[in-house]
Structure 1
């Protein structure tokens, strides 16, 4: 069966025109057969291949999409739209090194394209090229000072590199202009927390959760700020909210358990920390089925805290069990080794005393 009826009687111009008319009406499925006929009639029809690439992308057939975008560029390397579409697809597939050269072709054709510079920065940041990323984000902001996405992206890099004043200046610009979104408030919350200006940090983090009520990280940071200000009740509420929003969020569980421990609410701390570990063990089992080898080092502080809780409740058996798990992950912990040794001595003393009584 031919691709379209009466194929021999329909020329290239008619197929291309029909395809474009259907696309204007968002009828990509209807346009497909005419696009195929057009590129078969003219194998150098670059725009047709580009449109086929878009069609396949919309239908999540990424190998065919990539092939058609490449074919478009083979026919016309200067077709900027095909470079942009191919780069965007690579970016979505997290193939950052493949995306970057095509984004570069876009800005060579249009040096004023702020958003593409921002996307180039994203590719570099994801590829570990932080300085190149900062250069591209800066250029994006120079071209478009109100580009919040570029401002947020460069601020994240600056905060990571401890360039706090620079990040603060960029973010405050959007506050002064009254165009800040939740990400700006969230990052400013982090900035002020680092600067130990906890009232300001609380203000911006609250603004962040007002716009994004499912942001577990922001609730956790609110809790941490409240702890620093001795607002323990509020801190507890924020940590609980963070843990509810993300049951795999270690920091929230650790912070809540540590808060209870410092309040000598050891049983509450144990319940909290054990709940996290049950969830984690189930997740680790699923990950093991997919051969996903994740580092367990991050759980060591939680195991150590849980061991302290069991010790405080006079349960040396559980304390030893938990601390030995911690040591199996990170053996060179002298303080934990000494804590386990202390439990052994205590246990032996109890045994000797029991023999005397008998």
Structure 2
């Protein structure tokens, strides 16, 4: 068994991010959406749609051991009697605006809010997560590293990511050519040249100029040193072997809580290889359960489905599109959006650690327009 000391990086993260209420006892329920199992290049293409985010999470409440009964809620939804497990597809379908029109979604959101439940989730943009190692490597290799605070580093990553995302076919072509994210050392210079050529036109865009110019200069410095540390090891063509790290993270951060995951055989097999330790104490604080027998897992499926649609909307729409669409929502759509906004804020106030995001600054800006 592989032993994981949950405290190894936990206290540092809590202090660095200013997190509170992390030692409290909670009960977490999980499901996921857009789970591609792994993220890799196959025959010159990504194996998953890169304009949708992987989201893992669901509902959480204070304390351990108590059970919240969902029977009355599920009966009030008046679904077909043959429905043995309620999923997002039974509640709403289509794009975000279609989902916001769902009266059943409105029932569920009101029930969640009235029962003092919180949202928790990991929201991952796999493409952003997969390519920022290029900039992180360049920053580490740069003599000007000390000039980079987190905010500016994130700005550089954001502009770099946007440039590559807007030229996704060429980006994929370059990645496949060099076996990214594991580049042979003697080809690092050529890889950097191709990446710089791809992003250079964006230095003439006013909004992007500083971020792109900075990215170009630190990449040139990396070329001189023939170093991109975070892209020199690993497996060629595989940007992410699996998503297990995002299941392990809350197990470490919320060590005093109980975690119930929807059954996911691959992740279950991986986690069974680890012992989670709090000092000398072995933790027994997670379980994989059959969602058919757990109403809060089913509600977590619905909420992750909803958030999957919401963040796909954020990814795919412009700032102006989001402003215009939000301003023209009908009563039921506004009501559902306001409810998810209230749930998000209540959760964040309770514990900022409930909501983890690995997304671009551009997404964060658009998210704040949708959920102010």
Between structures 1 and 2, the one with greater strand share? 2
TM-score band w.r.t. shorter chain: under 0.3
Q: Which has the higher contact order (CA 8 A, sep 6+)?
A: 2
Between structures 1 and 2, the one with greater helix share? 1
TM-score (norm 2): 0.18
TM-score (norm 1): 0.18
